[in-house]
Structure 1
Amino acid sequence: MVRNLNFFQRVSVAVDVAYALEYLHRHCEEPIIHCDLKPSNILLDEEIVGHIDYSANKSRSLGLRGTIGYAPPEYGMGSELSTKGDVYSYGILLLEMSTEKRPTDERFREGLSLRNFVKATLPERIIKVADPILVEERVT
């Protein structure tokens, strides 16, 4: 995904991705589980409309279950794929979009995760973890 999108562009992309997931999960003949929702699998067109790149998803055919940091922890323990896994990955994607920190960042080792990092700041210190571009927009 393109970095440095403003707040409204990010929200718009997040909504686009939510609609795409809803379509895959609820409006196909059988639910389609992406299994690897992450920024590099979100394509933006010239009007900054977000699209899920399903062609990049080879995880189901290879037996893999997503990308470390984005895949739900239960996938690592052998749980069955489910639409809930995509929803978990979507939540991590939203956290990354609002903090500009990747779940694979070096600081997220030894039990600390992006999810726990943000959760620990709520609600009093959320400005401390928010993407500086978003904070700057708020001030101006």
Structure 2
Amino acid sequence: MSNGNLDCLLHPPNEQNNQRRLNLIQRLNIAIDIACGFDYLHNHCEPPIAQCDLKPSNILLDDDMVAHVGDFRLARFMLEESNDQIFFSQTMSLALKGSIGYILPEYGAGGRISTEWDVCSYKILLLEMIIGKRPIDETFCNSVDIHLVTEMALSQGVMNIVDPSLLYEEIAETG
């Protein structure tokens, strides 16, 4: 799409070339667009669809910076079970599918695919959009992940965790 994908705007390949960065309002609008897309897939499609690979490079941005969920190679149709739980009726393969950092640990443990997995991946994406770090950022050490880093930093104040480019943008607009 004309404005590429979210990954290119959150993590420009070369920080030195003054590439356009997303401001807070743009990030919030993109988050809302993604939520609306998943609302449609999960609640308005028959049968519901689990996208199964939510990550910034799968969020495409059009001319108006409207976000569109893309890449449905791993998507699954959810079939209803008699107890009203939604699940994918086929057995999952032993190979892990999805993108590291955005998939749930239960996925690797043989759990069933569900729309809840998209919701959990969405939470990870929201954290990434606000703090500006990938879920498996090289600055995280040992078994620390984006959730733990955020939780630890929030205890010292929200400004310690927010993407510095958002702070710069706010200072530039008010200054």
- Give the TM-score of the pair, scaled to structure 2: 0.73
Tell me, in whole angstroms, the C-alpha distance in 2 between the residues paired with 1:14 and 1:52: 11
Q: What SS does structure 2 have at the residue aligned with 1:121?
A: helix
Indicate the residue corresponding to 1:111 in structure 2: 143
- Which amino acid in 2 is paired with 1:134? L
- The answer to whether residue 50 in structure 2 is matched with residue 18 in structure 1 is no
Residue 123 (structure 1) shift = 4.9
| Structure 1 alignment gaps of length 5 or more | none
Indicate the residue corresponding to 1:47 in structure 2: 64
1:12-53 deviations in Å (ceiling 9; x for gaps): 000000000010001000110011000000000010000000
Indicate the residue corresponding to 2:23 in structure 1: 6
- The answer to whether residue 116 in structure 2 is matched with residue 99 in structure 1 is no
Tell me, in whole angstroms, the C-alpha distance in 2 between the residues paired with 1:101 and 1:126: 15
Tell me, in whole angstroms, the C-alpha distance in 1 between the residues paired with 2:105 and 2:162: 24
Residue 129 (structure 1) shift = 1.5
Q: What SS does structure 1 have at the residue aligned with 2:150?
A: helix
Tell me, in whole angstroms, the C-alpha distance in 2 between the residues paired with 1:87 and 1:80: 14
Contact 2:96 2:108 (C-alpha < 8 Å) held by counterparts: no
Tell me, in whole angstroms, the C-alpha distance in 2 between the residues paired with 1:78 and 1:85: 13
Tell me, in whole angstroms, the C-alpha distance in 2 between the residues paired with 1:11 and 1:105: 22
- Give the TM-score of the pair, scaled to structure 1: 0.89
Tell me, in whole angstroms, the C-alpha distance in 2 between the residues paired with 1:29 and 1:112: 39
Residue 73 (structure 1) shift = 1.6
Count of residue pairs brought into register by the alignment:
139
- Which amino acid in 1 is paired with 2:53? D
Tell me, in whole angstroms, the C-alpha distance in 1 between the residues paired with 2:137 and 2:56: 14
Indicate the residue corresponding to 2:89 in structure 1: none
- The answer to whether residue 92 in structure 2 is matched with residue 75 in structure 1 is no
Tell me, in whole angstroms, the C-alpha distance in 2 between the residues paired with 1:21 and 1:75: 19
Q: What SS does structure 2 have at the residue aligned with 1:43?
A: strand
